[in-house]
Amino acid sequence: MSASFDADFVAQVQAASEQNLALCYQCGNCTAGCPYTFAYDIPVNQIMRLVQAGQKHKTLTCKSLWLCATCESCTTRCPNDIDVARIMDVLRHMARCEGHAPERAVKVFWDSFLESVRKHGRVFEAGLLAKYVARTGRVWTDFDLAPRIIPKGKLALKPHPIQGLGEMEKIFKRFEEQGGCL
Ligand code: SF4
Ligand code: SF4
C-alpha cells in the first residue's frame, strides 16, 4: 500500500532543484536513455512519478539514487526541459541527510572522497582507496588497474595538499552551518 501524499516533500524537491515536477508526463525518454536502467531498482521516470505522488519514503530508500552517474542523459532527452539529473542529485542528498543509503559501498566511497578533499584540498587517491577498502572490506576492487596506473603517475602515494587549505575548510564549514549534511 502506498503512503499518503507528502506535499512538503514535493515542495522541498521542487525548491531545491528549481524544477517544475508537474511538467513530467511520463513519456519515459529519460529511462530510455539512462545507462544505468539495467541496474536500478526503480527506473528514473518512475522516480519522477513517485516524487509527483509525494511518496517520500519509497523515493528516498531506493537504490537507484546511489547508482546514478549524473551523466545528464535524462536531462538532455527530456522533451519538457526538466533537469532530471539535478532532481536525482537533490533526492540523493535528501536521502543522505535522512540516513538512507541502501548502496553502502557507494556512500562509503563518497564519504572517503569528501574527507580526502577536506583534508588535502584535493583527492589523495591512495588514501581514499585505503579508507574505502578498510571500511568495505573490498580489497580487490580495481586491484587489476594498479600496474597500469602507478607507472603513469596516476596514483600518488603521498598526499599533495593545496595551498590555502584553510579556505577549503571554510567552504565545508559554511556548508554545514547552512544545514548541509556531509
Ligand atoms: S543522470 Fe542518472 S538518472 Fe539520469 S541518465 Fe544519467 S545515470 Fe540515469
Ligand atoms: S523525459 Fe521528462 S517528461 Fe519524460 S518521463 Fe522523463 S522527466 Fe518525465
**Least confident segment among 72-76, 81-85, 144-148:** 144-148
Q: Report the C-alpha gap between 32 and 10 in whole angstroms.
A: 24
- Report the nearest atom of ligand 1 relative to the CA of 33: 5
pLDDT for residue 1 is more than 60: no
| Torsion angle defined by CA atoms of residues 135, 93, 88 and 115, in that order, rounded to the nearest 10 degrees | -40
Q: Quote the pLDDT of residue 150.
A: 78
Q: What is the pTM of this model?
A: 0.87
Residue type, 93: H
Local confidence band at 145 (pLDDT 50, 70, 90 cut-offs): confident
| Helix or strand (DSSP H, E) at 96 | helix 84-97
Residue 42 grid coordinates: 526503480
- Report the nearest atom of ligand 2 relative to the CA of 23: 3
pLDDT for residue 168 is more than 90: yes
* Nearest protein Cα to ligand 2, atom 2: 78
pLDDT for residue 15 is more than 70: yes
The residue whose CB lies within 8 Å of the most ligand 2 atoms, and thus the one to mutate among 50, 68, 84, is 84
Helices and strands, number each (H, E), in the chain: 11, 0
pLDDT for residue 59 is more than 60: yes
